[in-house]
Amino acid sequence: MTLETKMGAAASAGANDDLRAVSAQIMTAFEDFKEVNDARLAEIEKRGAADPLLDEKLGRIEAALDKQQNRLDRFSLDAARPAVGKNGLEHVANTEHKSAWDGYLRSGDDSGLARLDTKALTQATDAQGGYVAPAELDRLIEARLTASSPMRQIAAVRQTSAMVFKKPVGLGTQGAWASEEGARTETTAPTLDLLEFPAAELYAMPAATQTLLDDAYADIDEWLADEVEAAFSAQESAAFINGDGANKPKGLLDYTITDNGAAVWGEIGSVASGGTGAFAGTAPADALIDLIYAPKAQFRANGRFVMNRRTLSALRKLKDSSGQYAWRPGIGGEASTVLGYPVTEIEDMPDIAAGNAAIAFGDFRKGYLIVDRQGARVLRDPYSAKPYVLFYTTKRVGGGVQNFDAIKVMTF
């Protein structure tokens, strides 16, 4: 017991040392970046163009900065990934359902699950559609997706047992002042809007060898969660940003995007970048300040920027009106910031180009809702790809904007 404690402490200390070392390397690279970029900007101001050697040097520093930031992100991701086993996510290994489920995955014996279906219809379904996974595996898949999906980390997530999650929203509930004994006039009835978030089916089909399934020490639940994580998270990330709502979630950028001064409920307000397919040539960071103040005050406290890495690379070179860089690297596991607000990188956001809404800002937990229908389902298929066993795994996910005042975008 003492040995295990010492080993755990040593591993933790090693991880902290690595984190501090990477953070120090990031800050050193950022100082080098500022020095070279300042020289590049001075050269542009003096000669009208940058020295190619400075551009090349800046590119090398940016590559090093990206490499160190990616290492830091991996440390954070590894720390967030749920463990499986005695010290991780709890498994009810001795329950009847768990035992029957393990037999189904390893050998295809579904007799135990069939008996459970007879005793409790809520255990789910028939062999043709697969069987509903135990709650432990369902939670494990969701936890892995949360750790790997940037949008799940910043948006609101709700569980539902229905095919469609419905949320009523009050628009403009009114009140009035009155004296203690004064008459109360009737106020205008509030306008209500009913938002609907249908859960669409998402599937993956990982393959396993029979040797893996026969290995008593192999955790099949952990393997299955690992395999579907990559497939599910990639599809979800794309849908949460650009999904059209047809058999998938409705993405943030699929709603009508309108100038913020004219936007109404149901539309995403937009702030102009000030340049054609670029930032303005003079005081380019001012547009970012306009974007920060586009949402209402209550949504700025937990506000954050969302963009892809190429857009973030362009923001690194911008300065505010006082000559300070708008971007700051994240250290100690914290996110990098722009003008003091954290940045979340989502690769499915569009690049900077004419007509593109490449940057979003706001309180995403208040603004965007992800709906998970409980009950991942697994169908074991040993026939279609012999000698491999396929596991057709499905879950239902929905999503969309739930508060149009909370998120705004910048259009170039």
At 267, give phi and psi (nearest 5°): -120, 150
pLDDT given at position 189: 61
Contact 101, 134 (CB under 8 A): yes
Nearest-angstrom CA–CA distance, 331 and 108: 48
Q: What is the mean pLDDT of residues 148-169?
A: 91
Distances (CA, A) of 342 to 81, 265, 313, 358, 363: 21, 26, 15, 16, 11
Write the pLDDT tens digit of every residue in 75-115: 665 655 555 444 444 444 346 777 888 888 898 888 877 76
165 neighbors 196 (Cβ within 8 angstroms):
yes
Find the angle CA(278)-CA(284)-CA(286) to the nearest 5 degrees.
Answer: 125
pLDDT tens, 309-319? 999 999 988 98
Whether pTM > 0.85 for this model: the answer is no
CA 266, 269, 274 angle in degrees (round to 5)? 160
Closest CA to 307 of 354, 268, 264, 252: 252
* pLDDT at res. 91: 42
Task: Report the pLDDT value the prediction gives residue 255, as an integer from 0 to 100.
Answer: 97
